Amino acid sequence: MRVVIAGAGNVGRSIAAELVGKGHEILLIDRDPRAIKSDTLPQAEWLLADACELSSLEEAGIDTCDVAIAATGDDKANLVISLLCKTEFGVPRTVGRVNHPKNEWLFNEVWGVDISVSTPRLMSALVEEAVTVGDLVRLMTFHEGESSLVEMTLPTSSPVAGARVGDQDWPGDAVLVAIIRDGRTQAPDPDGSLEAGDELLFVTAQVDEQELANVLSPREGEVKDASMATPRMVTPGL
């Protein structure tokens, strides 16, 4: 997979290193000569250019990329880069870094952003996930904001605690994708059981989140939005 990363600062380089390690072809773009540190990651391509300029993106061959990541420290730049990559070059997948929470509402398909990543939101989600039992926490919103990755730590009072996984009929199109038990992640086994204290990860349509929360924890269940999208449910994550 060919991935272009606009912004070769600490965040961009860290992402690039991870993706190079997984065998992907990486191009890093930055307009600041001090950010071009090709010796730190010689496996990647490096380009000194302004990714907000159409000519720079043409030079970089953005139309050959599968994913574009706008990872600069400037939200305005990240929005422009995402929009150009999506509308002018038809990049299939764009990811935008949100630096300031107040700008999160802009990072959507209107600006060409398929997935937005907000560090403040993500940190809030991790804190919430660690301390909240009985609340459904939205961790991530997928393409166009229709589906989400959600988590709940199953309370002892849950009606499904002790029940067989395969006997559950989850609301809508909700899919149980993983169970974290005693610090270890496992795939759901239809013959296995759900236990109090399990961290359950679901992929579900956002319209089904509250119903899923009610199934898992009728009296305590509440949906908290700790995703990278604009809050739509009961309690926002921040």
Structure tokens at 184: 């270890």
Question: What's the pLDDT at 232?
Answer: 32
Residues 232 and 130 in one domain: yes
CATH number at residue 38: 3.40.50.720
Residues 109 and 128 in one domain: no
Residues 85 and 191 in one domain: no
**Would you say residue 86 has pLDDT above 90?**
yes
Residues 55 and 12 in one domain: yes
Residues 12 and 71 in one domain: yes
Listed residues 81, 113, 145: the one ending a domain = 113
Residues 91 and 159 in one domain: no
Question: What's the pLDDT at 8?
Answer: 95
What is the arithmetic mean of pLDDT over 89-106?
93
List of residues 6+ apart from 213 with CB closer than 8 A:
135, 136, 152, 221, 222, 223
Q: What is the mean pLDDT of the chain?
A: 86
Of 204, 53, 45, which is closest to residue 213 (Cα–Cα)? Answer: 204
Question: What's the pLDDT at 221?
Answer: 47
Taking only the tens place, the pLDDT of each residue in 59-69 is 999 999 999 99
Residues 126 and 223 in one domain: yes
Structure tokens at 117: 């990543």
How many domains is the chain built from? 2
Is the dihedral angle over the CA atoms 58, 9, 20, 3 positive or is it negative? negative
Listed residues 88, 113, 138: the one ending a domain = 113
Residues 103 and 154 in one domain: no
Listed residues 113, 139, 169: the one ending a domain = 113
Answer yes or no: are the C-beta atoms of 110 and 87 closer than 8 Å: no
Domain span at residue 222 reads: 121-236
* Beta strands 67-70 and 45-48, pairing class: unpaired
166 band by pLDDT with thresholds 50, 70 and 90? very high
Taking only the tens place, the pLDDT of each residue in 6-58 is 999 999 999 999 999 989 999 999 999 999 999 999 999 999 999 999 999 99
Residues 130 and 38 in one domain: no
Secondary structure of the chain in HEC code, one letter for each residue: CEEEEECCCHHHHHHHHHHHHCCCEEEEEECCHHHCCHHHCCCCEEEECCCCCHHHHHHHCHHHCCEEEECCCCHHHHHHHHHHHHHCCCCCEEEEEECCHHHHHHCCHHHCCCEEEEHHHHHHHHHHHHHCCCCEEEEEECHHHCEEEEEEECCCCCCCCCCEHHHCCCCCCCEEEEEEECCEEECCCCCCECCCCCEEEEEEEHHHHHHHHHHHCCCCCCEEECCCCCCCCCEECC
Residues 131 and 147 in one domain: yes
**Would you say residue 194 has pLDDT above 90?**
yes
